[in-house]
Amino acid sequence: MGLTKRPFAEPYKIKVVEPVKMTTREYRLEKMREAGYNTFLLRSEDVYIDLLTDSGTNAMSDYQWAGMMLGDEAYAGSKNFYYLEENVQKFYGYKFVVPTHQGRGAEHLLSKTLIKQGDYVPGNMYFTTTRLHQELAGGTFVDVIIDEAHDPTVWHPFKGNVDLQKFEDLIKKVGPSKIPYITIGAPVNMAGGQPVSMENIRAVNNLAHSYGIKVVFDATRGVENSYFIQQREPGYQNKSVAEILKEFCSYTDACTMSGKKDLYVNIGGFVACNDPDLFEELRNLVVVYEGLHTYGGLAGRDLEAMARGIEEAVKDENIAFRVKQVEYFGNLLLEAEIPIVVPIGGHAVFLDAKRFYPHIPQNEFPAQRLAADLYIESGVRAMERGIVSAGRNKITGDHNYPKLELVRLTIPRRVYTQSHLDVAAWAVMELYRNREKAKGLRMVFEPKYLRFFQARFEPIE
């Protein structure tokens, strides 16, 4: 096969390698049975290409590793914290920063601080941990994303946008005093990594503030979102990703952050805001749940790696390669006419299990089955993002039936080469050729919270 278009390649070279285990189909079938048909319960050493998540699975740079040696492991006032604070202020623009062990630590503190029993918290689709912390704090999550986001076949450049009408309808219905804030995730993980436009966040900010409602940004993937704005939104072509990110944050009052995504670290997060009173409360609460406000459950070296990760994340060539690699993988599948969510998102390619296994009803977990089959056939690990992830209705106790029944193949940053992605794409194509034979699953163990992590299944024969 000759080159038909200008190729692109990694803006880095490899300095250290980690061998991976090659296994047989029989071995993997046995391991999948032991894992209760849940890819979260596999041992990582039995996985060949791990596309479970891009969370904390990134390869750090030599610059980050060098920073790890400069960890100031003081209990209080570590210099690595001040460097992190400086970089959050410089690149995200918020005044105050509280580090946490990861994203959900930040969500926990913020939800507990801002939400009262009986409140409503709108958002552009939900994220699993975000919504759970809002509910545990006494809030009810309300989805105000545009309808297009729920249809995996619709092309829309900013499918993560908030439907302003839905947001305003909610304000009118429950009253602004019952809405402490709106959460904006960008790109929207659960919708297939779909971005939010600058125009939309500006409008959300105006509407929310006109009612005294705060805007909280789930900034976990904000750099990816900024790249999409640069590529797709008129007026942003000549701005750097760093400039776009800072402008986006300027329309929000606070952010929660998982450094395990955009920031190339294996652990870490933070919550940041502009309001000094909110900061005081967060700083107070972090001591209870995470650690002192200058380490938040992290070692000094982790703070340093995250601070340096911020600088690398916003470099145009790094984020451009990241998104292009995901697009390369998605396009291989699209060319093979595999049903995936379009447009291709920023961090992952999502198989549409409803169209992949149309003969398996949703309550027999088609996406869960597809993820299991992919591992058995190829050693590639993916995760379910469908009915299992959506959990149960708080009131009726029945499954939530999400419109999207997806399998997510997530690309860790700087870890896999194009050839790994070719192998993974081939595995999906093989499964698609044999799709009629697939059968559903039955759930045999269900945990109370975030069930997708630990639920167990058996095949229906």
Backbone angles phi, psi at 383, to 5 degrees: -135, 155
Burial of 9 by CB count in 10 Å (0-12 exposed, 13-18 middle, 19+ buried)? exposed
Looking at the Cβ atoms of 80 and 129, the one nearer to ligand PLP is 129
- Joined together, the tokens standing for residue 14 give 């490899």
Tell me if 258 contacts ligand PLP by CB under 6 A.
yes
Min dist. Cβ of residue 288 to ligand PLP (A): 18
Tell me if 104 contacts ligand PLP by CB under 6 A: yes
What lies within 8 Å, CB to CB, of 180 at 6+ separation is 114, 115, 116, 119, 121, 139, 213, 214
- By C-beta, is 140 or 266 nearer to ligand PLP? 266
- Residue among 83, 127, 158, 295 flagged as catalytic: 127
Which residue among 261, 301, 369, 451 is the active-site one? 261
Q: In the annotation, is 75 catalytic? A: yes
Contact 387, 362 (CB under 8 A): yes
Nearest residue relative to ligand PLP (C-beta): 103
Three-state secondary-structure class, residue 109 = helix
Question: Between residues 104 and 322, which has the closer beta carbon with respect to ligand PLP?
Answer: 104
- With tokens 């396009």, the residue in question is 331
Find the part of the chain contacting ligand PLP (CB under 6 A) among 198-206, 233-241, 258-266, 303-311: 258-266
Tokens of 133: 């912390």
Phi, psi dihedrals of residue 50, rounded to the nearest 5°: -100, 100
Check if 452 is active-site. yes
Annotated catalytic residue: which of 385, 408, 413, 451?
385
60-99 mask for ligand PLP (x: CB under 6 A)? ----------------------------------------
CB neighbourhood size of 417 (10 A): 12
Task: Give least dist CB 195 to ligand PLP, A.
Answer: 12
- The two tokens of residue 74 are 């003081």
Residue reference for tokens 């982790």: 302
Report the nearest approach of ligand PLP to the CB of residue 178 (Å). Answer: 24
Contact (CB, 8 A) for 94 and 106: no
Looking at the DSSP bridge assignments, the partners of residue 141 are 121
Nearer to ligand PLP, 56 or 176 (CB): 56
From the list 218, 253, 302, 352, the catalytic residue is: 218
Alpha-carbon distance of 66 to 49, in angstroms, equals 27
Omega prior to 343 cis, within 30 of 0: yes
Candidate list 31, 108, 261, 301; residue touching ligand PLP; CB under 6 A: 261
Whether the CB-CB separation of 219 and 256 falls below 8 Å is answered with: yes
Residue 365 near residue 459, CB atoms below 8 Å: no
Q: 204 vs 431, which CB is nearer to ligand PLP? A: 204
- For residues 270 and 457, which CB has a smaller minimum distance to ligand PLP in the complex? 270
Out of 111, 130, 225, 368, the only residue in the binding site for ligand PLP (CB under 6 A) is 130
* Cα 188 from chain centroid (whole Å): 7
Tell me how many degrees the CA angle 240-244-250 measures, rounded to the nearest 5: 150
Q: Which of 61, 64, 129, 410 is close enough to bind ligand PLP by CB under 6 A?
A: 129
What are the tokens at 259? 């450094």
Are 350 and 385 spatial neighbours (Cβ–Cβ below 8 Å)?
yes
Helix (H) or strand (E) holding 79, with range, is: helix 79-91
Binding mask 168-207 for ligand PLP (x = CB under 6 A): -----------------x---x------------------
Element (H, E) at 385: strand 383-385
Report the nearest approach of ligand PLP to the CB of residue 439 (Å). 31
Whether 54 sits among the annotated catalytic residues: the reply is no
CA distance 441 to 450: 19
Residue 127 makes contact with ligand PLP by CB under 6 A: yes
Stretch that binds ligand PLP, among 17-25, 161-169, 257-265, 315-323 (CB under 6 A): 257-265
**Residue 128 known to be catalytic:** yes
Answer for which of 220, 226, 325, 389 binds ligand PLP (CB under 6 A) is 220
Beta strands in 101-195 (DSSP E): 120-123, 140-143, 181-185
Q: Is 6 a catalytic residue?
A: no
Question: Interface with ligand PLP includes 103 (CB under 6 A)?
Answer: yes
Stretch 16-55: interaction string toward ligand PLP, x if CB under 6 A: ---------------------------------------x
Number of residues that bind ligand PLP (CB under 6 A): 16
Binding-site string for ligand PLP from residue 285 to residue 314, where x marks contact by CB under 6 A and - marks none: ------------------------------
DSSP 392: B
Taking the alpha carbons of 169, 202, 257, 315 in that order, is the dihedral positive or negative? Answer: positive
Near ligand PLP by CB under 6 A, which window of 88-96, 101-109, 149-157, 316-324? 101-109
Interface contacts to ligand PLP, rule CB under 6 A = 55, 102-104, 127, 129-130, 185, 189, 218, 220-221, 258, 260-261, 269
Residues annotated catalytic, as ranges: 75, 127-128, 218, 261, 385, 452
